[in-house]
Every structure is written in structure tokens, then in C-alpha cells.
Amino acid sequence: MNPGLEEQGGETARTLITSLKDSPLTLSLVLFNLIFIGVVAYGSFKEREWRTEIFDHMSQQQAKYADMLYNCTPNRPQEH
């Protein structure tokens, strides 16, 4: 009888845990890599939010300045 998917997955997990238990350096490197990937992903997400906020703020300022310049142009003298 062939083992099912659950048995094979369980056996693979047990083998992985046993091998990581026997070599703590490998376990620490795996944990470090997972934490590092999480920190980099979080940093990238926060930086994207910050850049979007800065871009929106700059766009609003430019629109305000353009409106001020448009309204501050001198009127041309009217010819009779």
C-alpha cells in the first residue's frame, strides 16, 4: 500500500525537524533568513507608503503654486 499525501508530508516534516535539531547552526541561519526577509519586506512596504505620501504632498503643492501663479499674472491694459 502506498502512503498518502498526509503521511509523506508528515514524514518529510519529521525528517526536517530532526535534521534541524541535530544542527543548531542551520536552524539559526534559517530563522535569521526568515526574520531578515520579513524585515526587508516590512521596510519596503513602509518606504512605498512614505514615497506615495511625499509624492501626493508635492503634487498638491505644485497645484497650489500653479494656481497662485495663474491668479497673479498682471492684467493687460484694455485698448479703447
Give the pLDDT of residue 47.
Answer: 97
Extract the residue ranges of the chain whose pLDDT is less than 50: none
Q: How many CB atoms lie within 10 A of CB 40?
A: 10
Give the pLDDT of residue 2.
Answer: 66
Q: Is the pTM of this model over 0.75?
A: no
In degrees, rounded to 5, the angle at the alpha carbon of residue 65 between the alpha carbons of residues 63 and 70 is 95
Give the pLDDT of residue 78.
Answer: 64
Domain boundaries, the chain: 24-71
3-state secondary structure of 3: coil
**In 23-73, which ranges are continuous DSSP H helix?**
24-71
Give residue 56's Cα distance to chain centre.
18
Q: Is 27 exposed, middle or buried (0-12, 13-18, 19+ CB in 10 A)?
A: middle
